[in-house]
Amino acid sequence: MAPERFHSVSLLEDRCRGCTNCIKRCPTEAIRVREGKARINADRCIDCGECIKTCDNHAKVAVTDSIERLKDFKATIALPAPSLYGQFDQHGMDDVKSIYRNVMGALMALGFDAVYDVAYAADIASLITRIHIESGVTEKPCISSACPAVVRLIQVRFPSLISHLLPVDPPIQIAGKLAKKTYASKFGIDVRDIGAFL
């Protein structure tokens, strides 16, 4: 039996009015109204988050860990994505540097032991992607595997395109592995005792 997939979107039933707006926007027809509530079919959901944006009643929500989860690990690493920095106004290099410093400082103040930028892993993913394209192994035109929702969309709705997907881990996965490995060897700690949080 295939392992149950983790999903990052869930339904708050008491807020759902069964209006069907989210159904119309779901790219994989993963939502069905049953007993007046818009339930998600886990086998078809690609975690694109479109239904979260669509629902005016805020009945579809992103699944997140609470800050208390940090206590479950001996060490924790924050993995800020470029989109986190992009939410602050930037008018030149000085702003960029100060936003970077402030975000880093805020994450450490929250209780993380280290911060590892996903952007570094994105550079590595780009390099591996280029090598794969040049090797000619993957069927052309090649499709990037950087976005997990796109990969899942192809698996669920367009399986004939699977052979066009580049076999490269997404940046977030590369970042998590590298961050844990680096921290583990620096501080002599088992990687299984380290929690990495996006």
Site residues (CB under 6 A) for ligand SF4? 9, 16-22, 26, 28, 30-31, 38, 40, 45-51, 54-55, 57, 59-60
Determine how many CB atoms are found less than 10 A away from the CB of residue 95. Answer: 12
Which CB, 31 or 125, lies closer to ligand SF4? 31
Structure tokens at 92: 């030149």
Q: Which residues contact 82 (CB under 8 A, 6 or more apart)?
A: 117, 118, 119, 122
Of the candidates 90, 107, 166, 93, the residue with the CA atom closest to the CA atom of residue 133: 166
Least Å distance, CB 30 to ligand SF4, is 4
We find the least distance from the C-beta atom of residue 164 to ligand SF4, in angstroms, to be: 21
Cβ 25 to ligand SF4, closest distance in Å?
A: 6
**Dist CA 45 CA 150 (whole Å):** 12
Task: Give the nearer residue to ligand SF4 in terms of CB position, either 21 or 126.
Answer: 21
Rounded least distance, CB 141 to ligand SF4, Å: 24
Nearer to ligand SF4, 29 or 72 (CB): 29
**Closest Cα partner for 132 from 172, 167, 173?**
167
